[in-house]
């Protein structure tokens, strides 16, 4: 049995869950998310305070899905109650960011500004022109947008300039030495 899959998901107050045999709909103070359930799994709701994911059979595909869907549903519950955030830092001379309506404008040393539009369900904000805060209820989307922004100018190993996750440490390499 999957160690993650057999853990029970606690439902915080303010979050309501609507179960059907083929989908789960989670609604909370931050928003609502819906996901389809694979045919090999079933979800049991206990007195509106907890959820448990169960396998219908013991074949390989259902064992693979068990822990994955427990994590996905747990992320749905946490996202609708608290939300998720990722913080990016800009390091480098002249690197800055600002928000114009729902468009993130980045000046990263290119000959042109880079513009990124926030998708639905994702909120972008900028602090001190160098810190980008990405927040939303879907952990998958928040991480994907953070990765897409970071991939525009990933940190380079010689000077450490680029877009970094908050708390990320770049191993600085030694440059060439003359003989």
Q: What topology is assigned to 9-81 in CATH?
A: Outer Surface Protein A; domain 3 (3.90.930)
Cα three-residue angle 6-1-140, rounded to 5 degrees:
55
Ranges of each domain in the chain: 9-81, 84-165
Cα three-residue angle 98-76-131, rounded to 5 degrees:
20
Inter-CA distances, 129 with 39, 65, 113, 114, 125, Å: 48, 42, 14, 14, 10
Say if residues 66 and 53 touch (Cβ distance below 8 Å).
yes
pTM, full prediction: 0.86
CATH number of 84-165: 3.90.930.12
Span 25-77, pLDDT tens digits: 999 999 999 999 999 898 998 888 899 999 988 889 888 899 999 999 999 99
């Amino acid at each position: 049995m999957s160690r993650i899959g057999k853990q029970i998901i606690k439902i915080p107050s303010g979050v309501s869950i609507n179960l059907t045999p083929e989908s789960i709909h989670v609604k909370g103070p931050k928003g609502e998310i819906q996901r389809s359930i694979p045919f090999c799994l079933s979800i049991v709701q206990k007195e509106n305070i907890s959820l448990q994911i169960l396998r219908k059979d013991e074949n390989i595909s259902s064992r693979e899905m068990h822990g994955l869907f427990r994590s996905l549903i747990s992320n749905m519950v946490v996202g609708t109650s608290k939300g998720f955030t990722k913080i990016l830092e800009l390091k480098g001379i002249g690197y800055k960011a600002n928000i114009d309506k729902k468009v993130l404008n980045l000046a990263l040393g290119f000959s042109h500004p880079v513009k990124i539009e926030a998708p639905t369900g994702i909120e972008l904000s900028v602090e001190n022109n160098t810190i980008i805060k990405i927040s939303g209820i879907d952990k998958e989307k928040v991480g994907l947008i953070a990765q897409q922004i970071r991939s525009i100018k990933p940190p380079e190993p010689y000077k450490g300039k680029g877009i970094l996750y908050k708390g990320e440490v770049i191993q600085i390499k030694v440059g060439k030495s003359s003989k």
